[in-house]
């Protein structure tokens, strides 16, 4: 009987760890960092109006301190962007949660992210959806994010170094798209690559910016402003990018 119980337990554990993004979460435990994540969600995210239970659980689970430099680890769960090198930052937790909630992620979704950064947003998405495709224009960041996501077990994320304006046409259409830099206008190629019934969220504008939800339904495209935001400009090709500062 004991042998059967051990076999059943091992089988259940194997099934859990084979789920998308699950390997990265094993062994997290109820440690100090987990306490800080719970506090982050309660004080920074729930109190500001994010209510999607799956999104909140993803924010409690994904270990943000593993996506920041060692010297910033003690600040990992504060409500602020943090520098990750190459003039870039990891977005503040509230913005990550808000944008994730706005696209309404489904377990079967294929999601495109423009602006990989450290890989944190991609990791949050990975535990909520079937597949994440993410593009980073800064090669060093893209390579490092790919290695980090693979090491942490986020095996349903694919990283590409390239121009986000072009999207990922050979993998399109996407059920959802998240863009983490602000174009002056919504890039037409990203709209083309959004599936019918899909949702895209992105900051739009120069100077004054608004976070915009784009929905495609029956070939028609609708837009709705979510809130005012501040992101760095979205650029083409190998143009230098200034620091991200989403608030």
Q: What are the sequence ranges of the domains in the chain?
A: 79-229
Burial of residue 213 (CB within 10 Å: 0-12, 13-18, 19+) is middle
Catalytic residue set: 91
Candidates 165, 120, 167; CA nearest to 144 is: 120
Whether residue 8 has pLDDT greater than 50: no
Encoded tokens for 217:
């339904």
CA distance 12 to 137: 40
Question: Is residue 202 within 8 Å of residue 182, measured between CB atoms?
Answer: yes
Measured between alpha carbons, how far is residue 100 from residues 3, 15, 67, 117, 219 in Å? 43, 26, 18, 16, 23
Encoded tokens for 77:
């769960």
**For all residues of the chain together, what is the average pLDDT?**
87
What's the pLDDT tens digit per position in 98-141? 999 999 999 999 999 999 999 999 999 999 999 999 999 999 99
pLDDT for 18 equals 43
DSSP 183-237: -SS--HHHHHTEEEEEEEEEEE-SSSEEEEEEEEETTEEEEEEEEEE--PBP--T
Question: Is residue 226 within 8 Å of residue 213, measured between CB atoms?
Answer: yes
Whether residue 50 has pLDDT greater than 80: yes
The CATH number of domain 79-229 is 3.40.50.150: yes
What's the pLDDT tens digit per position in 194-234? 999 999 999 999 889 999 999 999 989 999 999 998 887 88
pLDDT for 217 equals 94
Instruction: Indicate whether this model's pTM tops 0.95.
Output: no
């Amino acid at each position: 009987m004991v042998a059967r119980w051990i076999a059943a337990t091992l089988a259940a554990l194997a099934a859990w760890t084979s789920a998308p993004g699950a390997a990265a979460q094993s062994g997290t435990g109820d440690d100090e960092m987990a306490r800080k994540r719970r506090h982050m969600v309660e004080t920074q995210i729930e109190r500001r109006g994010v209510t999607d239970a799956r999104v909140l659980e993803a924010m409690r689970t994904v270990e943000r301190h593993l996506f920041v430099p060692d010297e910033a680890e003690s600040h990992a769960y504060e409500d602020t962007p943090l520098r990750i090198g190459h003039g870039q930052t990891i977005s503040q937790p509230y913005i990550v949660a808000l944008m994730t909630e706005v696209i309404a992620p489904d377990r079967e979704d294929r999601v495109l992210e423009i602006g990989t950064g450290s890989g944190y947003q991609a990791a949050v998405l990975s535990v909520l959806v079937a597949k994440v495709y993410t593009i980073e224009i800064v090669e060093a960041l893209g390579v490092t994010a790919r290695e980090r996501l693979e090491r942490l077990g986020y095996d349903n994320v694919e990283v590409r170094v390239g121009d986000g304006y072009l999207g990922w046409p050979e993998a399109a259409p996407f059920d959802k798209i998240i863009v983490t830099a602000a174009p002056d206008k919504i890039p037409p190629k990203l709209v083309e690559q959004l599936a019918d019934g899909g949702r895209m969220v992105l900051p739009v504008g120069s100077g004054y910016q608004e976070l915009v939800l784009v929905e495609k339904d029956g070939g028609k495209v609708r837009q709705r402003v979510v809130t005012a935001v501040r992101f760095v400009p979205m650029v083409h090709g190998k143009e230098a990018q200034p620091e991200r500062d989403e608030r």
